[in-house]
Amino acid sequence: MHVRAGALNRLDLFVRNGIPGIPVALPHVLGSDGAGVVDSVGPGASRVKPGDEVVLNPGINCGRCEFCLKGEHSLCVTFHLIGEHIAGTYAEYVVAPEINAYPKPAQLSWEEAAAFPLTFLTAWRMLVTKAGAKPGETLLIIGIGSGVGIAALQIAKMLGLNVWVTSGSGEKLARAKELGADAGIDHSAGGFSREVRRLTGKRGVDIVLDSVGKATWKESIVSLAKGGRLLTCGATTGPNPEEDIARIFWNQLTVCGSTMGTHGEFSDMLRMFRDGRLRPVVDSVFPLSQAKEALQRLEEKRQFGKIVLRID
Ligand code: ZN
């Protein structure tokens, strides 16, 4: 594929800085998200042809293991992402299996098309498949500003949930309200569960999405209503939080881990972009030559939405 735009993800920082125990051969090309024009296809390809405008589902699965045969592609025993151990989309050209190429929604710019696959697929699987989120339920998103957090906010509002968000930044809380968040909680002074309890008359929320991990996990557990679901797809502050197991069984909570999504989920999510019901938030666009500056913006958490690389 001739890449027209690629997008940054926090994964890129982990890969660049080195994931313990997972060697990456150098030189390596970062980048999981990309959109562009099919340049050429291998023998036997039938889904796409040169000239097609496509977006990539970044998750690569084997198609043969027990999980793939059940349609659970992101549980594949060899599941990996474009740009993780193989060359990614911070490039003029990238090679991917044809099953990973989907038609680009026509109304999206190249930058927007590159901006949604990884984060929206991750958020879609968590909210729709794992949590079975229903209209009228309450969702609390910890640390709005991240790509997954904003994607979850947009999907949840589309589904008719009441969505609260937390952030240490008043500006990010204001931006989230512009996107439909029903309330924002400033967590810079410390815990947020007390405020959640106060706002819900001690009940708590139905669903919490916490990809922050160690720093917020216990507060997230305490923020849940009885029978609530805690969703996690990452742990940016560390994977080993203080745990309160008694609260988990006594309140009959469900902890749902999730990674990426299936091809079926990607298709369902893509349809919402094609129908104009979802549109990604692009924070900023950098030329490929300034990938380093783009990564720095991500590392300093200055973004609200996706940081995109334009490839001329
Ligand atoms: Zn497999």
Model confidence at 56, in pLDDT bands (50, 70, 90)?
Answer: very high
Model confidence at 236, in pLDDT bands (50, 70, 90)?
Answer: confident
Please state the φ and ψ torsions of residue 36, each to the nearest 5 degrees.
180, -160
pTM above 0.75, yes or no: yes
The pLDDT of 186-213, averaged and rounded, is 92
Backbone CA torsion sign across 245, 144, 124, 198: positive
- Distance between first and last Cα of the chain: 14
pLDDT for the residue numbered 23 = 79
Ligand 1 centroid to Cα of residue 63, in Å, is: 5
Model confidence at 150, in pLDDT bands (50, 70, 90)?
Answer: very high
**Whether the predicted pLDDT of 190 surpasses 80:** no
**Whether the predicted pLDDT of 19 surpasses 90:** no
Ligand 1 centroid to Cα of residue 247, in Å, is: 36
pLDDT for the residue numbered 191 = 86
Ligand 1 centroid to Cα of residue 97, in Å, is: 14
pLDDT for the residue numbered 308 = 98
How large is the angle between the packed helices 117-124 and 147-159, nearest 10 degrees? Answer: 50
Ligand 1 centroid to Cα of residue 257, in Å, is: 19
Q: Residues 23, 82: contact at Cβ < 8 Å?
A: no
Ligand 1 centroid to Cα of residue 216, in Å, is: 33
Model confidence at 165, in pLDDT bands (50, 70, 90)?
Answer: very high
Q: How many Å apart are CA 219 and CA 223, to the nearest integer? A: 6
Ligand 1 centroid to Cα of residue 71, in Å, is: 9
**Mean pLDDT of the chain, nearest integer:** 95
If one counts every other C-beta atom within 10 angstroms of the C-beta of residue 107, the result is 12
Ligand 1 centroid to Cα of residue 111, in Å, is: 30
Q: How many Å apart are CA 220 and CA 143, to the nearest integer? A: 11
Domain 121-257 sits in CATH at: 3.90.180.10
The pLDDT of 105-119, averaged and rounded, is 97
Ligand 1 centroid to Cα of residue 227, in Å, is: 33
pLDDT for the residue numbered 189 = 76
Ligand 1 centroid to Cα of residue 259, in Å, is: 14
pLDDT for the residue numbered 117 = 98
Query: What residues have CB less than 8 Å from 11, skipping those under 6 apart?
Result: 32, 81, 83, 84, 118
Model confidence at 20, in pLDDT bands (50, 70, 90)?
Answer: confident
Q: Which part of the chain is CATH 3.90.180.10?
A: 2-116+280-310, 121-257
pLDDT for the residue numbered 273 = 98
The CA distances from residue 3 to 7, 119, 264, 269, in Å, are 11, 19, 24, 22
Backbone CA torsion sign across 123, 170, 168, 285: positive
Q: Residues 118, 260: contact at Cβ < 8 Å?
A: yes
Ligand 1 centroid to Cα of residue 66, in Å, is: 7
The pLDDT of 47-72, averaged and rounded, is 97
Ligand 1 centroid to Cα of residue 77, in Å, is: 5
And the tokens for 89?
């989309």
Ligand 1 centroid to Cα of residue 87, in Å, is: 20
Query: What residues have CB less than 8 Å from 138, skipping those under 6 apart?
Result: 161, 162, 163, 164, 200, 205, 206, 207, 225
Ligand 1 centroid to Cα of residue 208, in Å, is: 30
Ligand 1 centroid to Cα of residue 38, in Å, is: 25
Ligand 1 centroid to Cα of residue 112, in Å, is: 29
- Is pLDDT larger for residue 191 or for residue 70? 70
**Whether the predicted pLDDT of 181 surpasses 80:** yes
Ligand 1 centroid to Cα of residue 232, in Å, is: 22
- Is pLDDT larger for residue 23 or for residue 62? 62
Domain 2-116+280-310 sits in CATH at: 3.90.180.10
Tell me which residue of 95, 32, 85 sits closest to 58, measured CA to CA: 32
Ligand 1 centroid to Cα of residue 6, in Å, is: 26
If one counts every other C-beta atom within 10 angstroms of the C-beta of residue 302, the result is 13
If one counts every other C-beta atom within 10 angstroms of the C-beta of residue 71, the result is 11
Q: Residues 209, 149: contact at Cβ < 8 Å?
A: yes
pLDDT for the residue numbered 244 = 86
**Whether the predicted pLDDT of 186 surpasses 90:** yes
Q: What is the pLDDT of residues 251-276, one digit of tens each?
A: 999 999 999 999 999 999 999 999 99
The pLDDT of 148-177, averaged and rounded, is 96
